[in-house]
Each structure stands twice: as C-alpha cells, then as structure tokens.
Amino acid sequence: METLEAIKTRRSIRKFKQQAVSEEQIAVMLEAAMFAPSAGNEQPWQFIVIDDPKILDQIPRIVSTASMCRQAAVCFLVCADSSLKKYPDFWVQDCSAAVQNLLLAAHAIGLGAVWAGVYPMKDRVEGLRNLLNLPVEITPFALIPVGYPDHEPAQQERYKKDRVHYNGW
C-alpha cells in the first residue's frame, strides 16, 4: 500500500471479526510504532500487548470509549516511560507519533484499529495502571484495539482549504 493511500484510506474500526492476529503482525505494528520520530530521538515509549480475553473484557470498565476491546484480537497500550525522557514536555507528541504509525501499519497489513484516549484522564490512567500493575514511571497514554475489520466506513473528503493559512493568520 502506498503511503498517501494508507493515510487517506485509514479509518477508525470499532467492530472486529473473531479472527486471531499473528505474532508476526503484532511485531510489524510494534516495529512501525517504534520508527516514529521523537524529540531528540529519545523514544520515551513502552508498549503493552494485551491479548488475554479476561483483561480485554475489563478494559471498557476503565475506558468507557473502548467497548470494542471485548471484540478485538489484541490491544496495544502505548505508554510513556519517564525514566527514558530527556525532554520531559515532548512525550505526548512522541507517543502520538508512535500511535499514528501503529494505526497506519495495522491498516497497511489489512487490519483495523482505533485510538481510544487514556491520558490525560486521571481515572483512566490510574485504572489501567492498577489493572496492569504498571510501575510509577509508566504513564498509560493510548489504547489501540486491533483486529480484522467487520465493517468498512465510507471514505470522506477531509481536506478543508479554509483551514490553511500562509505566513500568518
């Protein structure tokens, strides 16, 4: 899949078929995520791969917008690791870039995914920290349920010329 095609055709997928995602596919998505740019190349992320149905079933109780975890083959929890931060105020941008790469990689290999926000909602951060026994230096940032799509959202035109400004407002 060409890069621009992947960017323009990727959509949030919230319904999944009951089909397993392979270890190789998981590795492809994680590798893509880790190729994201980061401030000073600090790569302040950690990834938790969640494929235990008992844990996936508990997540929507913590992250109310993540009910699709119950259907997903796997979920990725993208986290910031404060022990890796050289530039402390940039980890949100760094982890966001990793999430976008993961979403694009999933789409490129025929999988569907959706970004469920965790940070900065304290109840979600603490809930996932407790559920997964995360150390204090690990901050849950985003949850990405992944699986084989069970629907195909319609394509949309998203370019809005009126939102583009040159050399000032």
Give per-residue pLDDT as tens, 117-140: 999 999 999 999 999 999 999 999
**CA-to-CA separations, 138 to 81, 110, 148, 165, in angstroms, rounded:** 5, 30, 29, 38
Average of pLDDT values for 42-56?
A: 98
Does some domain include residue 160? Answer: no
* pTM confidence score: 0.95
| Selection from 46, 39, 34, 40 nearest residue 90 by Cα | 39
Does some domain include residue 123? Answer: yes
| Range(s) of the domain holding residue 143 | 3-150
Q: How large is the greatest C-alpha to C-alpha distance in the chain, in angstroms? A: 52
Question: What CATH number does the domain containing 113 carry?
Answer: 3.40.109.10
Does some domain include residue 161? Answer: no
Please, what is the average pLDDT of the chain? 96
Does some domain include residue 13? Answer: yes
Rounded Cα distance between 128 and 73, Å, is 19
Backbone angles phi, psi at 145, to 5 degrees: -70, 140
Does some domain include residue 165? Answer: no
- The number of distinct structural domains making up the chain is 1
Contact 146, 116 (CB under 8 A): no
| Neighbour tally for 70: CB within 10 Å | 14
Give per-residue pLDDT as tens, 102-120: 999 999 999 999 999 999 9
Least confident of 21-25, 127-131, 152-156: 152-156
